[in-house]
Chain A
C-alpha cells in the first residue's frame, strides 16, 4: 500500500496544486485538543499534519515552539502519549502525519520500538531534526525506517553535493528550511528561496516542502508557486498559546488557518 504522504503528493501533482502542511506541538494545550485540532485542520483543507513530539532542549526551535514544548511536557506529554493521540486521530481521519522531533526522546524510548509503534499507531513520516545522514550511515541502529518515511532537511547553507547525499537518503518529501535560523515567525522571506528550490530540484525528484518563518497568507502566496508544499508552524502555535485550553480552540484555529490554506490553493504551482 502506498504511504499516505506519497499518495497525497500524487494527488496534489495530479490536481496541479501546492500542498499545505501545518505543524503543531502534540499535547499543547492538551492531548484531547491536539486530536481536535488535527481533525479541524483536515476539515479546512490542510494536506499534511506535522506533529511535534516535545523535547526539553529543542535547539532548532525559536521561542514560540520552545514554549509549546514546555507546556506539553509539563502536561505529561511523552512519546507514548503522542502515539495515543495519533491512534485517536486515525480513528476519524486519514490525513498524512509526519512526526517532527529530536533524537533523545525517541532514542530513550527505544529507536526501533518507536518506529514500529509509530507505524502501528498510524504515523507516516519522521523528521528528526538532529539526526543528519552522516549519523545514520555511522549508526546502524538508525538505518531501518520500518516504513516510516524518513523526511530530511536541506538548509540554505547546504552545498549542492550535500543536497545530493541528503536527497538519496530521503523519502516522502524534502523539507527545505527557508532561512538561516530557528523556527519562528518573521516579516519578510528570504530572497533566495526560489533559486535554492531550483537547485534542490537538480538533485531529486522528491516533492519539496518549504518551511521556517512562513507566517502570513502573503508569505504563502509568495512561496506556493515554487514549492510542492508550504509549511506553517510557529504562527499557528502562537495562536494556540494565545487561545489556551478553551472549548472553541479548534474553531478559532480553523478561522486562522483557512486563509493561509486558501492563499496556497489559489496560487498556481509552478
Chain B
C-alpha cells in the first residue's frame, strides 16, 4: 500500500491553558444541563427522555445530565477507518493523521474573472476526475464539486452528486443531509464498497432539525451503515447565531456537537464520530459569513484542543476552504494558506480545502490544483524532519569543509534532497528570462495546463462493475420515486433528469 495522507510528527499546537480547556468544557456541560438543545424529532426526544434527559415537550428542548454527556463522549472511539474500493485510498482517522478534502461551490467560476456560470454534468464529472487525480487530496465533501448543474432538478442535486462521485472516484466521501438525501448516498456507498461520512449538522443556536436527525438514525440503525462514522458539523456564526467571543462560541458550537454525540451513542454505542467545526465571524457590514479571516484558524485551533481532550477526532469543515475573493488572486491564497496551516498544526484530522473560490458559491478546477500544492506544502511542514547521524551529516560537513567545497556533487545530496524539499507542481519557479520566453505564465496558467493534462490522462484506479453502475441507477430511480411521492419533483423534472444523465452515460 502506498502512503496516503499525512502524519504530523510533532505535538499539536495548543493555544489554551489547561484551565481554559476545563472552563470551556464546564461551559459546554452547563449549557447542555441548564439551557438545553432543541430537537425537532419526536423519536430523538423519546430516546433522550428514556435515558434520563429532562424534556420540555412544548419547546422540544432537551436538558442533559452531565454524567450522560461524559459517558457518551467516552464511548466514541478515538480512531476509525473509512474504507475505499481502492485499498490505497483508505483513511485512518485519529491520532496524528491529517487528510485534505475536496471542497464545493454551488456553481462554477471563471478563475480569472470570477464570472459565475452553471456547469454541465460533463463539467461536474471532470471536476470529480481532477479531484480524484490530485495526490494531496484524500477525500471529497458532500456535494462537491458543483451543486447546481444544468438539467438536474433541485430535489436530486445531492443524490446526483453522490452518484457521480462514486462512479468516478475512489476517494471516500461525505453525505449531505438535505431533504433526506443522505439515505441514498449511504446506499450507493454500500453498493460500491466505499466509506462515507453521515453528515449531521445542527442549526445554531442549539437546535437540531429533522433532516439532520433522520440522517443520524439512518447511519445508526441500518445494519449495513453501522461502520459509517457520523460527522457532526456546527456552523455557528460568531455575533449572529453564537456569542461574538471565541470562548462563548466554542461553548455553543461544542454543546451542539456533544448533544448529537449523546444521541448517537445511545442509539449505537461505540459508533465512530468526528467533531466537525465551521465557526466564523459574521461580516458586520454586509451580513454574509466572514470567511477567510484568521479568526477561523483561532477557532479551529482551540476547538481541536478541546475535542482532543475528549479523545474524539476533529474535522475542519471548511475554514481554509472558503474565502471571499471572487477570482483567484493574492487574497485567495493568503486566506486559504493561513487557516490551512493553523488547522493542520493544531490537529484537525480532515480539512476541507480544494477548489472552492467565492464562499461556498463557486468552484474552479484550477483552484483545486493550486490548493493541492498548498496542501503539499503544509503536509511537508507537519511531517517535520528526522535528526540522526545520517541527516546530521557531520562526516560530510567535515569532508566538504569550507569554500571551494560543495554539496551539489555528493551522493548524500542525491539521496536526500527530494525527501527533504517539497516541490509545488504549478508554482512559477522559472528564472526571469525563461519566464519571459515562455509567455510570462503564472501559477494560475500552469494550473490551467495541469487541469487539461490531468483530464487527458485520467484513468480511474478502480472502475465500478456493470452491476454496480446499474445499482447506482436503481438508487437514483428510488430517489426520484421518493421525491415525487413527497411532491418535491414533477414527472417532467424526473424525465429531464434522465435525459441529462443518459446524454452522458448512455449515448
Tell me, yes or no, whether A binds B. no
Q: Which residues of B contact A (CB under 8 A)?
A: none
Where the two chains meet, the residues of A that have a C-beta atom closer than 8 Å to any C-beta of B are none
